[in-house]
A and B are shown apart, each in its own frame.
Chain A
């Protein structure tokens, strides 16, 4: 029953925050309205999200977010430096193939997103069975190092969170 009422609790919670963010003033009325919408909208959209991803450790999730945010800042500075100061001919871009241990679609998506947001890498495509990610690396000499860092820094954590 509760699953039917709130099919995706995390989504509902997000929606309440988004609503408060939208109206940008915290009042009881807004909270009630936000809460109401946070229940109604996921109910309406539930058919489009048939499965319910398991989030094993939400606190790990928070840790992951903070790490990624920090990495994004760093990535920006690094990439900015490459763009501004490196000569074109000295930029060595390479493909990196990332075999995946993750199976959850949500986890794979987060990983791919993280790769794109972090140092000098863009996830270009997935294998048709979701078994690996093709990553484009802006500038590196050691593709294995890149792969390993992604594996240890992100994939391991995501595996903990989602599985």
Chain B
């Protein structure tokens, strides 16, 4: 039976809304903050209680909004008995903690932050217990890890806080991640991530082959969160948090999330051997171990922390038994443990607050100075010990009863004996808490003068111990909620009748043994404690820290070693990867039969081949002499250009040779600043390795091209040849492709050049404004230079050559559409012409006469090309649609005008501007390096000797 209750959304949301409150209210003071922080919690609790009757009647309340339906993740909540129990605990204790913390925290602590984190945590925790979608549950689950990280690290200046927070996050985070896996598997088996659906699919899940992985992964989440052995070690270190946090998270709520989850999943996951042996055994071991360690802890909070570990083990064990009675006991003990343990933590906090110490060995006799605290603490501790008339007794009795008839691997005694030992130890440390803190004589060496705290501090624990006693005396008060919760856990209608006296049962004997034995053990505490301190035992924190440190160290070494800045190695890996994967890919396929005959090899071409090969090998072998390598590169460029001519690619030849020249200029300009020799520093092994890689890459690439050159295939370029003249208005198909069919590529390409110009210019400025400039200034580049900078002959010849070269540039530009040439080559030719002038008469002299800035050229070029493209829009055509017409202007013969030429003009300007801006930038750097500025076009004009009045300036 379920009813819809959209109030659930509000309840879930209220803590998160509340988390915003402290940030605003903190300006109004601590009291106001605490008060207003309590409001949303109280409101949520009241809303929850309005639903309680229905839930106690066996109804479930549901509400759902879709979130990520593709994943099956929805914001869906449901409230059943178990959820109600936990929600009440979370909100109720939350209220008490809010009150307690107001008085606990000092004036220097950022209270606003505290309440924000606290409410975030509360919201997350509340979310876990009312989620009806296991993915949503995961969200809240991880949120509790995160918010508890913030709370544990609240005193961020303390190293223990930071370390404790990180440890808790690492352990519970790891568990949470495992649980993600488990939940996803679970959802996949059930076909839904909705809890209500999954809870119906228990049989299918247990039958699935994925059951065990899912179980283990989910339990990892639960065990880490609930501090089960061997993940128990983070909890004591989380005690670095302020005590309200310990009381709330580490006794009442968060650590119970794991228990909650096991309870929640009980109908689905329990009932198998795997469940029993994993869960019950872990619980049992944890219970005994936690209790044992607790006995020897001197820090009050540590004692309580390990006691919590032990009790969580107890709960886990009960759930692991997998019986309905055990489930009832577990639910009941959850309530009881909450009441006494929260009260105890608060008591510890009060003692710490009043005496300024939590060290049991420095305490004792507080009964006399802090009677009220003594009363509260003693009642709670007796309940923890399982002394009758207190609620702890009841549930422990039920636990022992269940343990007494549980077989473990065929043994009837293992579980009862160990459970009794656990109970015995529990009695011992509980009595120690009472005896060593409150009893005995009053000491005169407390770090502070203790007395009972103000009402605000003792009110909350007092309320809790009242519950301890009430339930202890009148357990039937809890009947309703325990019944509802236990029914929800088991999925069966349970109607437990909680009572004080169960008659003479094995449990009673075990209980008596525990109490007597515990008291005896405490009597022997002093010698045992000495032995304990002497004993060597594994220190969980040290192991964890060592583990983390070694993983971090490994990660550091690995990262530093692998990403060590050795780009040459990265490139080697890249090349090897390409070659190997390429080869593997090839071998997975195959080749069709060759379809082309090979072309003959004329002698001159063979010579060209020899030149290319010799030059390439020489570049490699002589690369240490950088200048020589540049000369050799010149051969390669020349040969390839000639080869392009031979192989029907005149446009390529033109472009290749002019680009190569400009590139060599750039390299020469740069080499001026760089060392002229490359040191011989590669060890032979490296050379051989690189040589092998290089040969492999070369063979691969060569083989690839040899393979496809022997095979013909139809290509799309038949279209280009067919449409070049009719559609593009040009007979040079390559040019028409460049400015028309694929003009968009060309547009991109000139933008690359424009960016290159910009980049180089920007870089030049960065260099001239940075420390590099100092280095430049201090460097002497003037050694053993020839004294003639601007030789007369060069200057004179350039004066004739430059106009001719410009003319050639214009010619090449104009004919490009129909014959080899075009904007790009023309731009380079003009750049080379200007370059000639710069080389002849020097940078400064030439630059002074330069009327158009290169920046502007690039800008115009890119914009003209772009506008030509956009211009087509006016005619309703797409970007870069060209059109052309033949103009007949008598007496001139017909000529063609094409928008593509305008585009090509953009190319021309950009290329020219970019090349010149690059040269300009390099020259500026050189000038910065100390070259003086020439004011005349040539070193010395002999004509000036005779006619000084010449117009040469």
The residues of A with any CB-CB pair to B shorter than 8 Å are: 11, 14-15, 18-19, 22-23, 27-29, 32, 37, 41-42, 44-45, 47-52, 100, 102-106, 108-109, 112-113, 125-126, 128-131
Other 5 A-B pairs with CB < 8 A, given A19-B811, A130-B942: A22-B808, A41-B810, A51-B943, A103-B943, A126-B793
Contact between A105 and B802, CB atoms less than 8 A apart: no
Of B798, B806, B939, chain A has the most CB atoms within 10 Å of the CB of B806
> Across the interface, do A128 and B846 meet the contact criterion of CB distance under 8 Å?
no
Q: Complex formed: what's the CA distance from A154 to B791 in Å?
A: 21
Q: Which residues of B contact A18 (CB under 8 A)?
A: 804, 807-808
Inter-chain contact B837/A48, CB cutoff 8 Å? yes
Report the separation of the CA atoms of residues A29 and B795 in the bound assembly, to the nearest whole angstrom. Answer: 33
16 A–B contact pairs at CB < 8 A?
A: A14-B804, A18-B807, A22-B811, A27-B893, A37-B807, A41-B803, A45-B802, A48-B798, A51-B943, A103-B942, A105-B795, A105-B942, A108-B796, A113-B797, A126-B791, A130-B941
Nearest Cβ on chain A to B888's Cβ, whole angstroms: 11
Residues of B within 8 A of A41 (CB): 803, 806-807, 810
Q: Which of B783-819 contact A (CB under 8 A)?
A: 787-788, 791-793, 795-800, 802-804, 806-808, 810-811
Instruction: Enumerate chain A residues within 8 angstroms of B798, measured Cβ to Cβ.
Output: 48
Is there an interface contact between A50 and B953, defined as CB atoms closer than 8 Å?
yes
* CB <8 Å contact, A15 and B807: yes
Docked complex Cα distance between A11 and B895 (Å) = 27
Question: Closest B-chain residue to A3, C-beta based?
Answer: B951
> What is the CA–CA distance of A39 and B380 in the complex, to the nearest angstrom?
110
Residues of chain B lying within 8 A (CB to CB) of residue A11? 800, 803
Instruction: Select A128's contact among B788, B837, B946, beta carbons within 8 Å.
Output: B788
Give the chain A neighbours of B811 by CB distance below 8 A: 19, 22-23
**B945 near A: Cβ within 8 Å?**
yes
In the bound complex, CA of A101 to CA of B544 (Å):
96
B899 within 8 A of A: no
A28 touches B791 (CB 8 A): no
Chain B residues whose CB sits within 8 angstroms of the CB of A49 once the complex forms: 799
Residue B331 is within 8 A (CB to CB) of chain A in the complex:
no
Q: Which 5 A-B pairs have the closest CB atoms?
A: A130-B942, A29-B892, A47-B849, A109-B796, A51-B952
The answer for the CA separation of A133 and B603 in the assembled complex, in Å, is 43
How distant is the Cα of A108 from the Cα of B795 in the complex, in angstroms? Answer: 12
Is the CB–CB distance between B951 and A51 below 8 Å?
yes
Contact present for A29 and B953 (CB under 8 Å): no
Q: Which B661-714 residues have C-beta < 8 A from chain A?
A: none
Q: Does B69 contact A (CB under 8 A)?
A: no
Instruction: Identify whether the interface residues of B are mostly helix, strand, loop, or mixed.
Output: helix
Known: A42-B803, A126-B792. A105 touches B787 (CB 8 A): no
B162 to chain A, nearest CB (A): 72
Q: Does B938 contact A (CB under 8 A)?
A: yes
Q: Judge whether A50 and B807 touch: CB under 8 Å.
A: no
- Residues of A within 8 Å of B952, CB to CB, are 50-51
Nearest CB on B from A138, distance (A)? 20
User: Contacts A126-B792, A131-B942 given: A15-B803 contact, CB under 8 Å?
Assistant: yes
Closest-CB distance, A2 to chain B (whole angstroms): 15
Interchain CA distance A29-B895 in the complex, whole Å: 9
Is B454 on the interface with A (CB-CB < 8 A)? no
Query: Counting CB contacts under 8 A, is B144 at the interface?
Result: no
- In the complex the two chains form, is A103's CB within 8 Å of B945's CB? yes
Contact with A along B928-953 (1 / 0, CB 8 A): 00000000011111110110001111
Asked if A128 and B787 sit within 8 Å, CB to CB, the answer is: yes
Q: Which of B791, B796, B802 has the most CB of A within 10 A?
A: B796
> Which residues of chain A are within 8 angstroms of B940 by Cβ–Cβ distance?
128-130
Proximity bits, B734-754, A CB within 8 Å = 1, else 0: 000000000000000000000
Q: Determine the distance from Cα of A44 to Cα of B940 in the docked complex, in whole angstroms.
A: 24
Cβ-defined contact, A45 with B806, below 8 A:
yes
A109–B803 CB distance below 8 A = no
A163's nearest neighbour on chain B, judged by CB, is B946
**Do the beta carbons of A50 and B951 come within 8 Å of each other?**
yes
Instruction: Report how far A125 CA is from B787 CA in the complex, Å.
Output: 12
Q: Which residues of A contact B807 (CB under 8 A)?
A: 15, 18-19, 22, 37, 41
Chain B residues with Cβ below 8 Å from A22 are 807-808, 811
- Contact between A109 and B793, CB atoms less than 8 A apart: yes
Does the CB pair B800–A28 fall under 8 Å? no
Contact of A48 among B841, B895, B943 (CB under 8 A): B841
* Chain A CB within 8 A of B565 CB: no
CA distance A125 to B841 in the complex (A): 17
Partner of B939, one of A23, A48, A128: A128
B803 — which chain A residues lie within 8 A by C-beta?
Answer: 11, 15, 41-42, 45
In the assembled complex, B891 has its CB within 8 A of some CB on chain A? yes
Specify which chain B residues have a CB less than 8 angstroms from the CB of A112 in the assembled complex: 793
**CB closest chain-B residue, reference A109:** B796
Give Cα A66 to B802, complex, Å.
25
Contact A28 B891 (CB under 8 A): yes
Nearest A-chain residue to B841, judged by Cβ: A48
Chain A: minimal CB distance from B826 (Å): 12
Residue of B nearest to A104 (CB): B943
Return the chain A residue nearest B812 by Cβ: A22
Q: Give CA–CA (A14, B802) in the complex, Å.
A: 12
Measured CB to CB, the nearest residue on chain A to B798 is: A48
| Nearest-neighbor residue (CB-CB) of B945 within chain A | A103
Complex contact A29–B791 (CB within 8 A): no
Cross-chain contact B796 with A106 (CB below 8 angstroms): yes
CB distance from A152 to the nearest CB of B (A): 21
User: Which residues on the B side are within 8 Å of A103 (C-beta)?
Assistant: 942-943, 945-946
Contacts of B792 in A (CB 8 A): 105, 108-109, 126, 130
